[in-house]
A and B are shown apart, each in its own frame.
Chain A
Amino acid sequence: MELRILAAPREQQALLDLPWDMSLEQWPEWYLVALPRGISRHVVRFTRLNGQVYALKEIVQSYADREYQMLRDLSRLDVPSVQAVGVVSGREAPDGTALDAILVTRHLQFSLPYRALFARMMRRETVDRLIDALVVLIARLHLSGFFWGDCSLSNTLFRRDAGAFAAYLVDAETGELHDALSNGQRAHDLDTARTNIAGEMMDLLAAGQLDESVDPVATSNQVVKRYEALWSELTEWEAFDVTERWRIARRVERLNELGFDVDELDIVTDIGGRTIRVQPKVVDPGHHSRRLLRLTGIDAQENQARRLLNDLDTYAAVTDQQGEDEEIVANAWVMDCFEPVIRNIPRELRGKLEAPEIYHEVLEHRWYDSERLGHDVGLAEAARDYAETVLRHKPDELAILGGTAADPAETQPFRISWTDLQ
């Protein structure tokens, strides 16, 4: 068999140098990033090439090819997921033994496995925010016709999002892409999510890593409730009297508020012309983050974008530029506010949080400090004080890859495959 590396040219070059003739478990340490590995039913290792961290998963070739294709499709659909880089197949040990294929994905910078988040004793509100992020992710996947099959906190990565979280799909192994999902498929995904999340929380509770006030069963039931509310807002027909036409605009506003853009609305009037029925047809998540990107070129999560846009609006009002062209004001805001704050963060602290998250925290810091001192401390001073008193004491989150203990088998759920039955 020939060794075959299916990947983009730039990454192919870098990947060539890895010891593909060894099973992943035997790779010498100097190839690996010395961080605890994540949770998977397969052997997973991390390596660093050209300053970028990659995850490698050893898996039967047909599964590697399938998951690679699936992750590519998801990224084409703009679903938040880890990015597939390539598949290495046709591997052989020096003695001619065939080795399984390896799926290569790019590690998502500043992403956090839930175990890393919970390692610092989590409060109830934080748990709720994690759950909300996961619910939005499931709904987005379902809108795209993706049936997850194994939805859980373990199969998700979280990125900070202005005090909340944005969730990313990590494991697409059991996933399937359909034109549209049946109610049964959605219900099954939720039932799996509910069971897995309750299990994961009960385990954290047993490990003493979860506040006693958090009830795993109630929390996991919440997933179903919140999902259903979001799903009906996203997809359901709404009927009202012809005189209440303002309700169309209200529906769109509510969806914007949830972070979704409405590209197409289906509006039907009954024969008598008395009742209007409305259903969103095409909804696109990322309402605020798209707007921020268009205006400023800053790539941020949805809530971060909302926060930054609010600050931009405030800036326009304070500097008396409300009538100005939106893009000109945005440009001025970047030069006067955003960039100076980020530029003044000492270089060694920049790996701790993403730039939009830092800016959000500086805004928070400014608010609290100003309130405490009874006068506005100003953006520059708030940024300086925040960097020294807050950011410096935060852990580095650029590349957290696993839990916190050296032996993940002792602290993390491990996956048992029915198929490994011996």
Chain B
Amino acid sequence: MATVTYDKASRIYPGQDNPAVDSLDLTIEDGEFLVLVGPSGCGKSTSLRMLAGLEEVDQGSIRIGERDVTHMPPKDRDIAMVFQNYALYPHMSVSDNMGFALKIAGTPKDEIRRRVADAAKLLDLEEYLDRKPKALSGGQRQRVAMGRAIVREPQVFLMDEPLSNLDAKLRVSTRTQIASLQRRLGITTVYVTHDQIEAMTMGDRVAVLKDGLLQQVDTPLGLFDKPQNVFVAGFIGSPAMNIATFDLVDGNATLGESSVPVPPAVSAAVKEEGSDTVTLGFRPEALEPVSSESEGGIPIVVDVIEELGADAFVYGQPAGPTSELQSDRMRSETVIARVEPRNVPAKGAKVNFRVRPGNEHFFSVKTGARIEA
């Protein structure tokens, strides 16, 4: 078992100006489940393949434990790529199916036997080792296939979008299975997905990438609570965070009829960069309805209500005569607010919301970076 270190690792495709992966600095702890996530073209798969040895590293280096693997052939890196589908061979016993790849690698017989026995124990397959795959249930067969990866006792597991060919329901149950198996095995794992929900539910930590650059790496909760820039704020969370550019007027962020108090530290930071606007973000669940008279509210005209039983979401437009101007300032077409499912407003109603204090996210209009309150 081992740590994985990307040390300013870059991949620049020939003929391209921008690196596909740009000076990636990332350390993955021993036994950690790290998820690389981001929109397509962000460099997540390329990062994984650089570690796998499929993509060249043009600058910087990659280490597994203390070993520099930057220019090592894939098979010498001690990794297992679990995005492959494994074949099971019908005439071979379960133990031969699990161990045959070790035979090719020239592993001594005793050693093969030990590793197969260990893996079988871990996968609850001990009593089936002499049987043929045909005699196993579907789930047991799948565990045999996994046993093939486990007996290699790799230092790192790599998985590239392993759930992308499943339907939504199966994806949910399978991701739980993979995560729990990884925790049992305790093998350092790097997992690539474009799906932020998958990333948030599976990873010990999640690294968000965009345009080849690492945006932030943190625990799922850390990403959710303290996104370090506007991109991460908008990418993580479902439904997405409401984000818009507000004017900074007398210690308040205002836009049309909306007004949100701004902490002095934030005002000061905005002034310091010579700006009079600030990007404000708030999650749908950070909004609460207030009486229309109270100040510092965000009035919204309700378009659509999505009732999910345990939750309900209001999709609306900012109220006020200048709402068109406001929508130009918004990152999305609608404002989304979570409301009590037993007490939903009517379509077309105007509801005044406020952001629960402390749940505002401020970002620099110039750099997109988070401004701490």
Interface residue from A184, A206, A420 paired with B74 (Cβ < 8 Å): A184
A174 to chain B, nearest CB (A): 7
List residues 117-169 of chain B with CB under 8 A from any CB of chain A: 133-134, 138-139, 141-142, 144-146, 162-167
* Cβ < 8 Å to B, chain A residues 250-291: none
In the complex, A47 has a CB within 8 A of chain B? no
Instruction: Tell which of B73, B84, B87, B163 touches A414, judged by Cβ atoms closer than 8 Å.
Output: B87
Quick check: is A156 within 8 A (CB to CB) of the other chain? Answer: no
B174 within 8 A of A: yes
How far, in whole Å, are A188 and B160 apart by their CA atoms in the complex? Answer: 15
**A187 contacts B73, C-beta separation under 8 Å:** yes
Choose among B53, B54, B144, B170 the residue with the greatest number of A CB atoms under 10 Å from its CB. Answer: B54
- The count of chain B contact residues (Cβ–Cβ below 8 Å) is 48
- Minimum C-beta distance from B55 to chain A (A): 6
Given A174-B84, A421-B146, A421-B177, A182:B56 Cβ within 8 A: yes
A420 to B164, CA, bound (A): 11
With A195-B104, A202-B89 known as contacts, the answer to whether A422 contacts B55 (CB < 8 A) is no
- Whether a CB of chain A sits under 8 angstroms from the CB of B101 is yes
Measured in the bound complex, the distance between the Cα atoms of B212 and A269 in whole Å is 40
Stretch from B90-98, B234-242, B252-260, B289-297 that touches the partner: B90-98
Q: A409's contact among B89, B134, B167, by CB below 8 Å, is which?
A: B134
| Cβ–Cβ < 8 Å partners of A174 in chain B | 84-85
Q: A226 an interface residue at 8 Å Cβ cutoff?
A: no
Which residues on the B side are within 8 Å of A199 (C-beta)? 87, 89, 100-101
Find out whether the CB atom of B96 lies under 8 angstroms from the CB atom of A202. yes
> Is the CB–CB distance between B53 and A418 below 8 Å?
no
Assess whether B104 is in contact with A194, with CB atoms less than 8 Å apart. Answer: yes
Q: Does A59 touch B at the CB level, under 8 Å?
A: yes
Known: A199-B87, A413-B88. A418 touches B52 (CB 8 A): no
B329 within 8 A of A: no
B342 within 8 A of A: no
Q: Mark B27-52, 1 if CB is under 8 A from A, else 0.
A: 00000000000000000000001001
Chain B nearest CB, measured from A103 CB (Å):
13
- What residues on B are CB-neighbors of A182 within 8 Å? 54-56
B173 interfacial contact with A, CB 8 Å: yes
In the complex, what residues of A have CB within 8 A of residue B90's CB?
203, 207, 409-414
Q: Name the B residues within 8 Å of A41 (CB-CB).
A: 85
Residues in A whose Cβ lies below 8 Å from that of B53: 184, 187-188
What's the least CB distance linking A150 to chain B, in Å? 7
Q: In the complex, are the beta carbons of B86 and A418 less than 8 A apart?
A: yes
Residue A419 is within 8 A (CB to CB) of chain B in the complex = yes
Chain B 168-212 interface residues, beta-carbon cutoff 8 Å to A: 170, 173-174, 177-178
Of all chain B residues, the one with the shortest Cβ separation from A154 is B87
Residues of A within 8 A of B83 (CB): 418
Q: What's the Cα separation between A416 and B101 when bound, in Å?
A: 16
Contact B85 A413 (CB under 8 A): no
The answer on a CB contact under 8 Å between B177 and A419 is: no
Q: Is the CB of A217 within 8 A of B103?
A: yes
Is A418's CB under 8 angstroms from B82's CB?
A: yes
Interchain CB contact under 8 A, A422 and B173: yes
Q: A419, B163: Cβ atoms under 8 Å?
A: yes
Q: Which residues of A contact B133 (CB under 8 A)?
A: 414
Closest Cβ of chain A to B166, distance in Å, is 6
Task: Using A217-B103, A422-B173 as known contacts, say yes or no to A415 and B167 having CB atoms under 8 A apart.
Answer: no
Contact in complex: B103, A203 (CB < 8 Å): no
Partner of B54, one of A180, A185, A206, A414: A185
A220 and chain B: residue at smallest CB distance: B104
Digitize A58-97: 1 where CB-to-B-CB distance is under 8 Å, 0 elsewhere: 0110110000000000000000000000000000000000
Complex Cα distance, B163 from A185, in Å, reads 22
Q: Taking the complex as formed, is B321 at the interface, i.e. its CB lies under 8 A from any CB of chain A?
A: no
Residues on A with C-beta less than 8 A from B173 are 422
B84 nearest CB neighbor, chain A only: A150
B residues less than 8 Å from A220 (CB atoms): 104
Q: Tell whether, in the assembled complex, residue B104 and residue A59 are in contact, meaning their CB atoms are under 8 Å apart.
A: no
With known contacts A184-B56, A203-B90, A203-B92, A418–B84 Cβ distance under 8 A: yes
Interface contact B139-A198, CB-CB below 8 Å? no
List residues 135-191 of chain A with CB under 8 A from any CB of chain B.
147, 149-150, 152, 154, 174, 179-180, 182-185, 187-188, 191
Which A residues are in CB contact (< 8 Å) with B163?
419
Take A202-B96, A416-B141 as given contacts and tell me if A188 and B91 are in contact as well, using a CB distance cutoff of 8 Å.
Answer: no
* A411 vs B88: C-alpha distance when bound (angstroms): 11
The answer, among A63, A147, A203, for a CB contact under 8 Å with B89, is: A203
**What is the CA–CA distance of A420 and B142 in the complex, to the nearest angstrom?**
7
Could you tell me the distance between the alpha carbons of A187 and B55 in the complex, rounded to whole angstroms?
Answer: 11
Taking the nearest CB of chain B, how far is it from the CB of A96, in angstroms?
15
Q: Which residue of B lies closest to A39 (CB)?
A: B87
Q: How many angstroms between the C-alpha atoms of A18 and B81 in the bound complex?
A: 39
Contact B91 A416, beta carbon cutoff 8 Å: no
> Chain B contacts of A420 at CB under 8 A?
138, 142, 166, 170, 174
Contact A217 B88, beta carbon cutoff 8 Å? no
- With the chains together, A415 CA to B141 CA distance in Å? 10
Cα A412 to Cα B14 in complex, Å, equals: 43
| A63-B177 contact given A41-B85, A203-B89, A420-B142, CB 8 Å threshold | no
Is A404 in the interface zone, CB < 8 Å from B? no
Contact A196 B87 (CB under 8 A): yes
Q: Which residues of A lie under 8 Å from residue B104 when comparing CB positions? A: 194-195, 198, 217, 220
A422 adjacent to B139 (CB under 8 Å): yes
A188–B174 CA distance with the chains assembled, in angstroms: 27
Find chain A residues with CB under 8 A from B89 CB.
Answer: 199-200, 202-203, 206, 413
Chain B residue at minimal CB-CB distance from A417: B85
- Distance of A149 Cα from B335 Cα, bound (Å): 44
A419 and B191 CA atoms in complex are apart in Å by 13
A192 contacts the other chain (CB 8 A): yes
Report the nearest A residue to B74, measured CB to CB.
A188
CB pair A414–B88 under 8 Å, yes or no, is: yes
* Closest Cβ neighbor of A185 among chain B residues: B54
Residues of B within 8 A of A147 (CB): 54
A63–B14 CB distance below 8 A: no
Q: Is the CB of B167 within 8 A of A60?
A: yes
Give chain A residues whose Cβ lies under 8 Å from the Cβ of B144.
416
Rounded to whole angstroms, the CA-CA distance of A44 and B352 in the bound complex is 57
The 5 closest A-B pairs by CB, nearest first: A203-B89, A206-B91, A416-B145, A184-B53, A207-B91
Q: A199-B101, A200-B87, A414-B87 are in contact. List 9 more A-B contacts (CB 8 A).
A: A60-B166, A180-B14, A182-B55, A184-B53, A185-B55, A199-B89, A414-B133, A416-B144, A421-B174
**A residues apposed to B, CB below 8 Å:** 39, 41, 59-60, 62-63, 147, 149-150, 152, 154, 174, 179-180, 182-185, 187-188, 191-192, 194-196, 198-200, 202-204, 206-207, 217, 220, 409-422
> What are 13 A-to-B residue pairs whose CB atoms are below 8 Å?
A150-B84, A187-B74, A188-B74, A195-B101, A198-B100, A204-B91, A411-B90, A413-B90, A416-B142, A419-B174, A420-B170, A421-B177, A422-B142
Residues of B participating in the A interface, judged by any CB pair closer than 8 Å: 13-15, 49, 52-56, 73-75, 82-92, 96, 100-101, 103-104, 133-134, 138-139, 141-142, 144-146, 162-167, 170, 173-174, 177-178
